[in-house]
Amino acid sequence: MKSVLNIAHRGASAYCPENTMAAFQHALDLGATGIETDVQMTSDGHLVLIHDESLQRTTGSSKLVKDVTLDEMKQLDAGSWFDPAFAGERIPTLRELLELVKTHEGILINIELKNGVVLYPGLEEAVIEEVRFQGMGERVILSSFNHYSLVLCKQLAPEIRTGILYMEGLYEPWEYAARIGANALHAYHYAVLPEWTTQAAERDIVYHPWTVNELDEMKRLLEAGVAGIITDYPDRLGELITRKS
């Protein structure tokens, strides 16, 4: 069986508060071979890793990410909402994650640009600059639901892989991916069938479906020939990949 990427969704987010250094480190401890995260930008231009545009759900603050400085954000507790044991966890920067992963050879980082609601002018340039500064271009894939953003990323950095995020119903997505220069299809997992992965592979396009937590669905997707799976449970997926190897 070919090697399949085991991509931890927002880190090991079933066990730790999502998009925190605790979640990223635990994903590595559980054997993940990739880490998925979300990047946004503070009011003073820093790249931070958080899924929601609002800080409410994970920190209790009613403000938006775009309206706070990095210093203000670093005062917020991003762990207690998940479990009191994680009190004091902070929202990390992209640099913090890249520096962690640099020390673990071969680990991929899937950086989702969260620019569908808030556009964050200059986000693409800033992310690419940081990735290049860290020398991580070959170990990063940039994804987004904003496909205009992915086209811009490819124009700015042809050497960095891109992945198209989408839900169900995109007709012949491998043709679309080839047209915009994308390398991967980050499909909602119901939108993946064996014949589609085959047709995509003929164009050197791979599938990394999300977010897959049930063993039966993991098995189905592995049999369908996906190149990677994004999951909250990298330990479950890792055990399954090992058994099928």
Question: Tell me, what's the pLDDT at 84?
Answer: 98
Rounded to whole angstroms, the Cα distance separating 54 from 151 reads 26
Q: Give the three-state DSSP class for 6.
A: strand
Regions in the chain scoring below 50 on pLDDT: none
Residue 140, domain CATH:
3.20.20.190
Single out the catalytic residue among 26, 46, 51, 208. Answer: 51
- Note the pLDDT tens digit of each residue in 6-16: 999 999 999 99
Q: Which domain holds residue 193?
A: 5-244
47: closest CA among 139, 153, 102, 124?
Answer: 124
Rounded to whole angstroms, the Cα distance separating 37 from 110 reads 6
Single out the catalytic residue among 9, 26, 189, 208. Answer: 9
- Note the pLDDT tens digit of each residue in 198-227: 999 999 999 999 999 999 999 999 999 999
Tell me, yes or no, if 9 is annotated catalytic.
yes
Tell me, yes or no, if 147 is annotated catalytic.
no
Which segments of 35-184 does DSSP mark as H helices, in order?
A: 56-59, 70-73, 94-102, 123-133, 147-156, 173-180
**Domain total of the chain:** 1
